[in-house]
Chains A and B, each alone.
Chain A
């Protein structure tokens, strides 16, 4: 009923309007529609969103070990390592930066009975050979990706890790570095034993 009334009223208005007013009303309606659309488009903003954070997962202590490693020298190293795969049209490259810390010292748990001899205020100590304390010295999770083109597999990344490891050992673990660690170790052990109250201290490292 109401709708019919409204329609009649509109018809009446239409009849009242002169033919001259019709185009103006049409233009006004079009303008209003345009304004409404423009405002709507202005307020439209769409983004494609991807989360780049990791999920929260637990961590487990798998092993606890008592160790007695006395470190005398630390070498922090970073190596730029790359691999190339030859292609028909172009070559694929993977370049990464690996970080590692080589710790050089002696393992006190290998000290045997009789390696420490005391006589009055004199002490003689034979410590195990100086060497690399930890075979795992690369912080692989800190690795930075420098350049990548083409597809690379986890096996390729493992090969790159091993290459970085070999490079670090070759460049950093030189006889000079080991002898510097031994020299500093002798000083440190002697200093500690003097603090212990021994006046005469002899420190050496086993050749084994």
Chain B
């Protein structure tokens, strides 16, 4: 009987030790997982070779505003309820600047896109494209009003409004106007360089490829207006 007790105690000790070891291994695995999560994904960089000619820069200003009131909405005893809670108002104004640039992909320009005949030159370029290159929040001008019954705006909420504002800027861009200005500016940038190559201004034509629904033909005389 005594021997049986000793065996039971020993077996229990073995089970406890092995479970401790398992726990330690699991902890180690957890730490490894956290360490790998820390090093992966937190810092990502992408280097890309390109050949883009930026011709126009637009500085856009927008004041992103947000106003929310806590409301009690629903049904009570089969009756609709929709009421504002007192002191539940919050307001926020975030002034932001965005830079949009129009560019032409020069990687696409080949021998076939340049025609020379009797001292005249005609350059066929792809349609300009637009890119939002940067945004900046005017932090010193940010305004915030919070009602007595409300908590302040969290950083998560703030960044969410900024992201919505950024998206609104992209969606409201006057693309057609920007692209046609970018085409005129491309001629302004390229013509002086081509002149330095020995061509006369009046012999230079910058033509834009008919991509999408836009076709703009620009020669230097038109661009000079």
Which residues does A use to contact B, with CB under 8 Å? 40, 43-80, 94, 96, 100-101, 103, 105, 108-109, 111, 113, 115-116, 118, 123, 133-134, 136-145, 148, 151-152, 154-155, 157-158, 161, 171-172, 177, 180, 184, 188, 192, 194-197
Contact = CB atoms under 8 A, between A and B. Distances in A.
Contacts of A68: 53-55, 189
B43 A138 contact: no
A155 B140 contact: yes
Given A142-B166, A194-B111, A197-B116, 16 more contacts: A40-B78, A48-B71, A49-B72, A55-B65, A58-B62, A60-B61, A62-B59, A66-B185, A71-B53, A77-B44, A113-B196, A141-B166, A143-B162, A155-B139, A158-B139, A172-B45
B76 A44 contact: yes
Contact of A73 (B50, B152, B158, B185): B50
Interface in B186-221: 188-189, 192-193, 196-198
B155 A145 contact: yes
Contacts of A60: 60-62
A141 B168 CA distance: 11
B115 to A, nearest CB: 10
Contacts of A79: 43
B50 A74 contact: yes
A94 B111 CA distance: 54
10 contacts: A52-B68, A53-B66, A60-B60, A60-B62, A61-B60, A67-B101, A73-B49, A78-B43, A111-B196, A137-B134
A65 B178 CA distance: 11
Nearest to A143: B159
A177 B78 CA distance: 68
A70 B74 contact: no
Contact of A54 (B64, B189, B198): B64
A54 to B, nearest CB: 5
Contacts of B156: 145, 148
B71 A188 contact: no
- Interface magnitude class on chain B: 35 or more
Given A40-B78, A116-B193, A152-B155, A61 B133 contact: no
Contacts, number: 249
Given A66-B188, A66-B189, A59 B50 contact: no
B106 interface: yes
Contact of B136 (A115, A116, A136, A144): A136
Nearest to B150: A50
Contact of B135 (A53, A69, A141): A141
Most buried by A among B50, B59, B106: B50
Nearest to A135: B134
B49 A116 contact: no
Contacts of B109: 192, 195
